[in-house]
Homo-oligomer: A and B are copies of this chain.
Amino acid sequence: VIVGAEITSIRSPRVKAARQLAKRSFRQRARSFLAEGPQAVREALSTRGAAGAGGAVGPGYGAGGPVVTELFVTGAAWSRYAELAAQAADQGAAVHAVSGEVMAELAQTVTPQGVLAVCRFVDVPLDQLVASAPRLAVLLANVRDPGNAGTVLRTADAAGADGVIFSDASVDPYNGKCVRASAGSLFHLPVVVGTPLRQAAEALARAGVQVLAADGSAGLELDALESDGVLRRPTAWLFGNEAWGLPGDLLAVADQAVAVPIYGRAESLNLAAAAAVCLYASARAHRMPPPGRVPA
């Protein structure tokens, strides 16, 4: 399945082109990004691209063409990842054997795992996410730390969310750190990129999805919303920047601001922890028996 001989030079045009995808500007030009390690590569190979990605056209998320266009595998890891290589080749990807030095050049981790893919962008248009009648979604506004954003993406996936919207001032979801922190979840649920927050909130409102802003200083507490049944409604959770939260103009797009209660002396929760508590509160509320129905 390998294309040509093992690449041993970091000056190889293939390696240089892939290496450039560590930079956002090059990613945006190529509409491609890097996915590192067997878990991410496996998820990428079992994903179909978004409608329209790479020229493919389809009626919805997952209806496009293959996501992986190139796969790099070290000689040392070859036998371990032979199945991934075969699968990539089957999907039409170019599979390259590379030296350890080349992998170290491509990978962004200290101890690369020997397999790395170039993937087409997988994000979907806002309209497509909204048309799917989401019951649980995430809106990120000004979230700048890629590790935090990736962790929220992973948590949203775990909580069964229907999509995550990276609003324009947030980190690029295709940033290597974000891809790694998402632990494959970038390939699991629809992701929307670069939509202005207000536009996203308005589209969600038209689709009957309430926007709840997680805001540590809000007077309303999460538990109250849960017992009032408010969390049973389709909900998009709005999370802001870890350091400075949500300024007034962003808070204004939300139907309500909600605080995760602080019972101890911590000033606040970090973003990933707050998102986990909020998203699982919604997931639980969505799965509760309707009120008035007494358990047998």
Q: Are B269's CB and A154's CB within 8 A? A: yes
Which residues between 253 and 296 of chain A lie within 8 Å of chain B, taking CB atoms? 260-270, 272-277, 280, 283-284, 287
State whether the Cβ of A34 lies closer than 8 Å to any Cβ in chain B. Answer: no
Q: Interface size of A by Cβ–Cβ distance < 8 Å? A: 38
CB distance from A148 to the nearest CB of B (A): 10
A269 CB contact (under 8 Å) in B266, B267, B269, B276:
B276
Q: Which B residues touch A185, using CB under 8 A?
A: 264-266
Max count, chain B CB within 10 A of own CB: residue among A161, A185, A266: A266
Find chain B residues with CB under 8 A from A161 CB. Answer: 264
Q: State whether B272 touches A270 (Cβ < 8 A).
A: yes
Kindly report which residue of chain B lies nearest to residue A274, judged by CB atoms.
B276
Copies in the complex: 2
A188 within 8 A of B: yes
> In this complex, what residue of B is CB-closest to A39?
B267
Interface residues of A in 132-163 (CB under 8 A from B): 151, 154-161
A90 beta carbon closer than 8 Å to chain B: no
Kindly provide the distance from the CB of A109 to the nearest chain B CB, expressed in whole angstroms.
14
Is A124 positioned at the interface, with any CB of B under 8 Å from its CB?
no
A262: chain B residues within 8 A (beta carbon)? 158
Indicate if A49 sits at the interface (CB-CB under 8 A): no
0 or 1 for each of A29-72: is its CB under 8 Å from B? (1 = yes)? 00000000001000000000000000000000000000000000
Binding site for B on A (CB under 8 A): 39, 151, 154-161, 181, 183-185, 188-189, 223, 260-270, 272-277, 280, 283-284, 287
